[in-house]
């Protein structure tokens, strides 16, 4: 009888100690989660722009870890939070690299595209004023080239505005669309397509 009672006390004591240990993890868990949240907030500015899908995934993981904290699963939080902090730092570095890559692409496009647009515009104007179109050039083809020039101009203006607004991703995307269209129009006009427009 005493033996059973003793075993019961031991079991109760062990349970109490475990609960105490769990409660003792609460403070460190909260601190670790706060550090992770701060790291994610720091990364969010650039990563939200340049790596939005990965940023969204990281925020979802943070929300899941907060839920574990609310449920008292402090050990899981102490495991997850440092991993979230490390991931946030990696994402910040990746976003900075992506930004640099986009900036380089934009520099190349912004130095070459205005000249391409001017060449196309000049050719379209010359053909439009000509009394007779050159061999292989129809009025319909010229009309297509004019329409294409209009699209290129709109796309390039939008790309420039996006760049001025600090949205490099949108700027490069729109500039690449203008580049593709420029290659099409040059082909319509039977003009050589620069290598820079083929890539």
67 plus 144 within the same structural domain: no
pLDDT in tens, 30-42: 999 999 999 999 9
Angle between helices 26-50 and 2-24 (to 10 degrees): 40
Q: Give me the count of residues in the chain.
A: 199
Give the model confidence (pLDDT) of 109-121 as tens digits. Answer: 999 999 999 999 9
My answer on whether 193 and 126 are in the same domain is yes
Mean pLDDT of 151-168: 95
Please state the rounded mean pLDDT for residues 103-111.
93
Contacts 24+ apart (CB under 8 A), 139-144: 141/188, 144/188
The pLDDT of residue 198 is: 73
Are 76 and 110 part of one and the same domain? no
Cβ contacts of residue 151 below 8 Å, gap of 6+? 178, 181
Of 77, 97, 117, the residue that ends a domain is 97
pTM summary value: 0.73
Task: Give the best-scoring range by mean pLDDT among 15-19, 77-81, 138-142.
Answer: 77-81
Is 48 in contact with 29 (CB distance < 8 Å)? Answer: no
Domain of 88, in residue numbers:
2-97
Q: Are residues 84 and 41 in the same domain?
A: yes
Co-location of 93 and 105 in the same domain: no
Give yes or no: residues 18 and 107 share one domain. Answer: no
Tokens matching residue 114: 């205005």
67-78 residue pLDDT tens = 999 999 999 999
Asked if 80 and 161 sit in the same domain, the reply is no
Domain co-membership, 123 together with 150? yes
Same domain (yes/no): 87, 34? yes
pLDDT of residue 65: 96
Same-domain pairing of 63 and 115: no
| Whether residues 14 and 92 fall in one domain | yes
What total of structural domains would you count in the chain?
2
CB count within 10 Å of CB 96 equals 14
93 and 129 belong to one structural domain: no
């Amino acid at each position: 009888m005493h033996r059973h009672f003793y075993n019961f006390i031991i079991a109760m004591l062990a349970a109490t100690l475990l609960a105490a240990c769990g409660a003792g993890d609460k403070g460190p868990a909260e601190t670790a989660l706060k550090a992770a949240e701060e790291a994610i907030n720091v990364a969010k500015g650039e990563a939200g722009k340049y790596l939005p899908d990965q940023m969204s995934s990281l925020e979802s993981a943070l929300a899941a870890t907060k839920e574990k904290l609310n449920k008292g699963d402090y050990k899981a939080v102490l495991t997850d939070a440092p991993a979230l902090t490390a991931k946030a730092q990696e994402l910040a570095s990746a976003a900075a690299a992506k930004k640099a890559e986009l900036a380089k692409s934009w520099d190349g496009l912004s130095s070459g595209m205005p000249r391409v647009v001017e060449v196309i515009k000049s050719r379209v104007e010359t053909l439009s004023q000509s009394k007779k179109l050159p061999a292989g050039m129809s009025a319909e083809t010229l009309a297509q080239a004019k329409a294409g020039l209009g699209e290129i101009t709109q796309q390039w203006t939008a790309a420039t505005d996006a760049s001025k607004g600090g949205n490099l991703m949108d700027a490069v995307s729109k500039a690449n669309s203008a580049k593709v269209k420029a290659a099409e129009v040059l082909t319509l006009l039977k003009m050589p397509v620069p290598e820079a427009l083929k890539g």
